[in-house]
Structure 1
């Protein structure tokens, strides 16, 4: 019962958001309910609610992240106002002649920009938004492709701030264990094949593009292809670049107006991740990523991107007033996202105060056995990350518990420990991918120009396919020892399921 009560605020947030399509109101109500559970009466709950708002906004990491998001919006605005985004779309349009190809390009870019999920959304969204629009691809589908590559790629690497964080969690969980072969990075590498959801999710994108759409996405695609309406009537995108930033004179920009800020962003981000982690003091790349300050490094990178864009605008003879207007317009495009993120972080604070993660674990602890452990860890991670909107939070809750537990149940078997680690990350990525209160889900909606709830509703059926197959693979691991056999079987089953769903969706489409 305690587990259900502690889950009540995030459940209310998700249900209300999907039912009313008003994300901010739904999040506020759910936070207030959490305050009511904590304070004992609805009036005191309001005071508790605003205390939580103040807490998350004054948190050092959160405050830096708010600045980071605003700067990324400004950097994207300069890409638009200098004509760089339009120049890239023109260059790619000469080579991209179908909607499927434009989305395959989006998928490929998402696979390449693997070192941070936020930067992935900015770059991929700005590179492909105009291109996919010309091919009449719905904003919902663009947001899904972006969302389905950003977090899964960041958690797999080969090098990213996510991996540094994950390895640090593994290292912390190993403290006190007599585990002779327990080198944290080695255990992370061994866990990658067991991260079924991330791997199957990445593979599902080209499979669905080949098989065809189904569910709510098929309806969205039909609307876009037949009417040219990239967003459904009545829907409100979190960001509309053309409306927020205005039209750009035809032929203003060149391709380098897009590429140079991008190169600066990536270069400074990589250097910042290395430097803030102690790289300058001799730390190895992986040690630097374990100890890096992500918010500082990416803020430096975003600021460098903005300054590069401003300098290019000045070289185009835009005035300082024009640059200031672009800067502020970029900040304004991020305002809806910033509000949602503050509310979503507050939900995370609510679940922490109510002990959601601990209650969920306690409710399932008695069921655990070596055979069932990976499946149960996967399911618990899904619930926690979806309810809190944070994959990192779910990882932080589960890793210190699940790794020692796997070690004890298996008497130090590396195979079960690496399987448990893969299941933690796998389930956490699912929640991060699907939760409407996840920051990466919000970022995908922003930079794709999609209505946020429309993005969530259309992508959940697509995410449930690899998630369901991942669950079956963890069950099958009780009798099949080879992870590679399981992965191949999972890919084959997923392809067959998606082909069948695609044919069903096309029959509906034609009907």
Structure 2
């Protein structure tokens, strides 16, 4: 019963958002519900709700993230007003001749930009938004393509802030077990083949692009291809740089107006992730990445991107007033997303106050056995990450529990399975929960309505999630993750083909 009560607010948020298509109101009401459960009466619940808002907005990491997103919006605005995005789309349009090709290019960019999921969304969204629009790709399809590559790639690496975080969690669990002879990074590498969801999710993108759409996405793509409406009538994109800033005169910029700020963003981000983690003090790369301050590092990178954008605008003889207007418009276009993020963080605070993760684990721990451990850990991680909107939170809750449990009832092979299952289930929630920050980021930089993105994406996420669950069950009889992955890829392709052959 405690588990059901603690899950009530996040479930209410998801259900209300899908039913009403008003994500802000839905999130607020679910937070109020959580506050009522905690405070015990509706009057005190109002005060508790606004206490939580104040708490999440004054948290150092959250405050830096709000600044980061605002700066990224400004950077994207300068890419637009200097003509960089337009020039890139024109150049790529000569290389790509179909909607399928534009989406495959988007997926490939997402695979290449692996070192951070936020930067992935910014770069891939800005690089592909105009190109896919020229081929009448719906914003929902673009948002899914971005979202389905950003988090899975960040968790697989080879080097990212996610991996540093994951390795640090494994190291903590090994320390508790006194496993001094085991290397945490090697244990992470051994877990990658068991991270079925991330691998299958990445593979599902080109599969669906080539084989065809199904479910709500099929209807969205039909609308876009037949009418040219990239966003459904009545939908409200979280961000629209083009609408906020207007059209750019033809031929104003060159591809360099896009590429130079992009290179600066990536370069400063990579350097800052290494530097803030103590790389300049002689720490090995992976230790530096594990100890890095992501919010500080990416804020520096975003500021550098904006600074370069301003310089390039001034070199085009744009006035200081025009630069200031671009800067403010970039901030403005991020405002709806910032509101959703504050509300989503507050839901996370609600689940923390209700001890959702602990209750879910307590309700399922009596079922655990060596043969069922991988599938149960995967399912629990899915529930926690989806309901909290945080993959890192789910990883932090489950790794200290799942790794020692796997070691005590099995061996290091079971530990690798457990680690892969934890990260796999955690990625599911981060990928498709409406209150996940990376889901919001995908909506922002694709120019999609957020609820439409979630509604069309969930059926696509459930395919690799369902196949992954079957593969974790398959560990009972098949010991090789590579054989299981091969089976999973074939099964996933068959399922997608069957679904795509059905009418919308």
**TM superposition score category, shorter chain reference:** over 0.9
1:362-511 matches, within 5 Å, as: 362-410=362-410, 413-504=411-502, 508=503
Separation (CA, whole Å) in 2 of partners of 1:457 and 1:60: 32
> What is aligned with 1:56?
56
Separation (CA, whole Å) in 2 of partners of 1:406 and 1:89: 50
* SS of structure 1 residue aligned to 2:61: helix
1:236-284 residue CA offsets vs partner (Å, 9 max, x unmatched): 1111121111111110000100000000000000000000000000001
1:45-78 residue CA offsets vs partner (Å, 9 max, x unmatched): 0000000000000101111011000000000000
1:135-154 matches, within 5 Å, as: 135-154=135-154
Separation (CA, whole Å) in 2 of partners of 1:450 and 1:204: 21
Post-superposition offset of 1:180: 4.8
> What is aligned with 1:289?
289
Does structure 1 retain, via aligned residues, the 8 Å contact 2:21–2:451? yes
> What is aligned with 1:37?
37
Separation (CA, whole Å) in 2 of partners of 1:176 and 1:11: 34
Post-superposition offset of 1:212: 0.5
1:270-326 residue CA offsets vs partner (Å, 9 max, x unmatched): 000000000000001101001000000000000000000000000000011111100
1:111-510 matches, within 5 Å, as: 111-410=111-410, 413-504=411-502, 508=503
Would you say 1:109 and 2:109 are equivalent positions?
Answer: yes
Post-superposition offset of 1:172: 1.1
> What is aligned with 1:23?
23
Separation (CA, whole Å) in 2 of partners of 1:30 and 1:461: 23
Post-superposition offset of 1:178: 3.4
Alignment TM-score, normalising by the size of structure 1: 0.98
1:114-144 residue CA offsets vs partner (Å, 9 max, x unmatched): 0001111111011000110110110000000
Separation (CA, whole Å) in 2 of partners of 1:76 and 1:181: 47
Q: Which runs of 5+ in 1 are unaligned?
A: none
1:17-45 residue CA offsets vs partner (Å, 9 max, x unmatched): 00000000000100011110011000100
Separation (CA, whole Å) in 1 of partners of 2:182 and 2:469: 26
Separation (CA, whole Å) in 1 of partners of 2:178 and 2:275: 33
Q: Which runs of 5+ in 2 are unaligned?
A: none
Equivalent pairs, count:
504
1:196-239 residue CA offsets vs partner (Å, 9 max, x unmatched): 00000000011111111110000000000000000111111111
Separation (CA, whole Å) in 1 of partners of 2:145 and 2:226: 21
Post-superposition offset of 1:502: 1.2
- RMSD across aligned positions (CA): 0.7
